[in-house]
């Protein structure tokens, strides 16, 4: 009778131990990340941001991506007032006398007298502070347009050469996509927009003193609906908003400087290789690039239930597979050869596991991807990403790309460099033994032990 009881207890304990891991989903946090896509920035530079005296940043973040190598990358001039709700991020930040700022993120900082930090200081800082927006490919036309002095001209979408707006003239954009070689608006000119517009400029973009660049009154559009993409490099400066200009638009010049001169009133977002903000400038955030939050990872988690592995991303906004491609890369064995490398892909019409053969990615099988609010969870069979003959540690990283089913421009990566490490003890090489396989084996083993013990006692 004792043997029978011991046998029953042994079976119960082993069954319990075999079942519990299948259902317990304890999430392992791999890491968390600051928001590092461009949507929150009013001023963002690849190299340096300089804000001169008495300027006001009413809203939006300020950042520079470069490692200054000991040189200042973000300069905030005397008496500048940056909103307490704005973040300033840069490798080396110089806050000059009497500046007021919110949170500051840096690796090195220099402070003048009477500086007031109304937020917190964070160091060290990972670089870059943000990815950059996608820059479209385009070709300008050859037809030049000149708007005579004091006249009004309405421009339909299309391809043009050099567009010149003479003093006191007005150019009205009806809305759509414009591909120009250059845009030169002289003093006292007005550039008005009737509808959302993308103006793509191959060379430079200049607006003379007292000019206006903004939605036309009654159009119903905002600064975030007008984007200037300026491709040209500095010769001497790619983008100039001269004295007293009123600009309500987004300007993106990845190869040149954006210079907002004295007394400019600016609303939008200004992203360039370098940013220079003059005396008494007032800037307000109204970004056209907020959609990038849909690919901005905040925290990363992993778990497995013995049969499936789960990789979860918490994003700054609900994911959008029609605009971005979401991926998880698995390097197996960690740091080893490519033969066991995989990636999980989610985008429009695509939810699949792919493997690397040394030259290309190849389809393996469909997977399940679950979206709930701002979270995105990849669900893949452990057996599909396993090498049954070898226990392998895994390096994993997460990357989001701009565009549907596109793997060109990275919008966000976690971690920023390197990878997260998952031990083979955490991500097993084979599914946890299920009751159909494991339990009969346990029963058989215990029964043999029981029989042998019963005979010996008998």
Per-residue pLDDT reduced to its tens digit, 209-249: 999 999 999 999 999 999 999 999 998 999 999 999 999 99
**pLDDT band of 14, cuts 50, 70, 90:** very low
For residue 196, pLDDT beyond 70: yes
Which residues have CB under 8 Å from 236's CB, separation 6+? Answer: none
How far does Cα 278 stand from its chain's mean position? 29
Length of the chain: 458
- The Cα-based distances of 65 to 347, 360, 451 in angstroms read 28, 31, 72
- C-alpha to C-alpha distance for 107 and 159, rounded to whole angstroms: 45
Q: What's the confidence (pLDDT) of residue 331?
A: 85
Count of beta carbons in the 10 Å neighbourhood of residue 329: 17
Q: What's the confidence (pLDDT) of residue 444?
A: 37
Phi/psi for 457 (5° steps) reads -70, -35
Q: Which of 270-279, 288-297, 391-400, 402-411 has the lowest mean pLDDT?
A: 391-400
Phi/psi for 224 (5° steps) reads -70, -10
Q: What is the pTM of this model?
A: 0.85
SS3 292: helix
- For residues 28, 31, 32, 37, the Cα torsion angle rounded to the nearest 10 degrees is -130
Count of beta carbons in the 10 Å neighbourhood of residue 195: 16
For residue 385, pLDDT beyond 90: no
**pLDDT band of 436, cuts 50, 70, 90:** very low
Residue whose structure tokens are 């992993």: 302
For residue 449, pLDDT beyond 50: no
Long-range contacts of 64-73, Cβ-Cβ distance < 8 Å, separation of 24 or more: 64/89, 64/90, 64/91, 64/129, 65/127, 65/128, 65/129, 65/130, 65/132, 66/91, 66/127, 66/128, 67/91, 67/127, 68/92, 68/108, 70/108, 72/48, 72/110, 73/45, 73/47, 73/48, 73/49
The mean pLDDT of 185-195, rounded to a whole number, is 98
Q: What's the confidence (pLDDT) of residue 49?
A: 98
For residue 388, pLDDT beyond 80: no
Greater confidence (269 vs 359) lies with: 269
For residue 172, pLDDT beyond 70: yes
Per-residue pLDDT reduced to its tens digit, 83-122: 999 999 999 999 999 999 999 999 999 999 999 999 999 9
The mean pLDDT of 294-312, rounded to a whole number, is 94
Beta strand extents in 70-201 (DSSP E only):
74-76, 81-82, 87-95, 100-101, 103-111, 116-117, 121-122, 145-147, 152-155, 158-159, 162-165, 170-173, 176-180, 182-185, 190-193, 197-201
**Count of helix runs (H) and strand runs (E) in the chain:** 2, 38
- C-alpha to C-alpha distance for 402 and 394, rounded to whole angstroms: 26
Q: Work out the percent of the chain whose per-residue pLDDT is above 90.
A: 76
SS3 240: strand
Q: What's the confidence (pLDDT) of residue 335?
A: 59
**pLDDT band of 416, cuts 50, 70, 90:** confident
Q: What's the confidence (pLDDT) of residue 386?
A: 78
DSSP string for 383-416: GGG--TTS---EEEEEEEEESTT--SSEEEEESS
Using CB atoms within 10 A of its CB, is residue 27 exposed (0-12), middle (13-18) or buried (19+)?
A: exposed
- C-alpha to C-alpha distance for 60 and 68, rounded to whole angstroms: 23
Q: At what angle do helices 438-457 and 2-23 cross, to 10 degrees?
A: 160
**pLDDT band of 456, cuts 50, 70, 90:** very low
């Amino acid at each position: 009778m004792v043997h029978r009881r011991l046998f029953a207890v042994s079976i119960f304990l082993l069954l319990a131990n075999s079942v519990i891991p299948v259902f317990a989903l304890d999430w392992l946090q791999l890491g968390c990340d600051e928001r590092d896509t461009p949507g929150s920035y009013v001023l963002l530079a690849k190299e340096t941001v300089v804000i001169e005296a008495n300027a006001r940043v009413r809203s939006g973040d300020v950042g520079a991506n470069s490692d200054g190598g000991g040189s200042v990358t973000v300069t905030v001039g005397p008496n500048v007032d940056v909103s307490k709700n704005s973040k300033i991020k840069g490798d080396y930040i110089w806050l000059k006398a009497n500046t007021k700022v919110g949170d500051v993120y840096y690796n090195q900082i220099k402070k003048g007298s009477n500086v007031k930090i109304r937020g917190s200081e964070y160091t060290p800082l990972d670089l870059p502070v943000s990815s950059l927006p996608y820059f479209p490919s385009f070709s300008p036309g050859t037809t030049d347009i000149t708007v005579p002095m004091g006249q009004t001209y309405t421009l339909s979408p299309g391809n043009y050469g050099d567009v010149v707006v003479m003093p006191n003239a007005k150019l009205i954009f009806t809305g759509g996509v414009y591909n120009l070689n250059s845009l030169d608006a002289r003093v006292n000119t007005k550039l008005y927009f009737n509808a959302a517009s993308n103006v793509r400029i191959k060379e430079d973009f200049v607006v003379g003193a007292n000019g206006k660049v903004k939605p036309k009154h009654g159009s119903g559009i905002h600064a975030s609906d007008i984007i200037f993409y300026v491709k040209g490099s500095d010769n001497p400066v790619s983008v100039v908003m001269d004295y007293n200009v009123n600009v309500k638009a987004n300007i993106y010049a990845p190869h040149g400087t954006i210079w907002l001169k004295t007394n400019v009133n600016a609303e939008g977002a200004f992203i360039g290789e370098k940013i220079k903000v003059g005396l008494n400038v007032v800037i307000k955030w109204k970004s056209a690039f907020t959609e990038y939050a849909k690919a901005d990872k905040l925290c990363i988690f992993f778990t497995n239930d013995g049969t499936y592995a789960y990789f979860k991303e918490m994003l700054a906004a609900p994911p959008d597979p029609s605009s971005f491609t979401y991926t998880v890369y698995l390097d197996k064995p960690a740091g080893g050869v490519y033969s066991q490398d995989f990636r999980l892909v989610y985008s429009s019409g695509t939810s699949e596991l792919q493997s690397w053969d040394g030259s290309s990615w190849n389809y393996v099988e469909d997977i399940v991807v679950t979206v709930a609010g701002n979270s995105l969870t990849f669900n893949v069979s452990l057996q599909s990403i396993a090498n049954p003959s070898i226990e392998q540690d895994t390096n994993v990283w997460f990357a989001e790309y701009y565009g549907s089913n596109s793997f060109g421009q990275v919008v966000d990566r976690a971690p920023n460099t390197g990878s997260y490490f998952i031990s083979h003890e955490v991500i097993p090489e084979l599914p946890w033994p299920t009751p159909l396989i494991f339990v009969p084996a346990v029963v058989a083993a215990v029964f043999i032990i029981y029989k042998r013990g019963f005979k010996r006692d008998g």
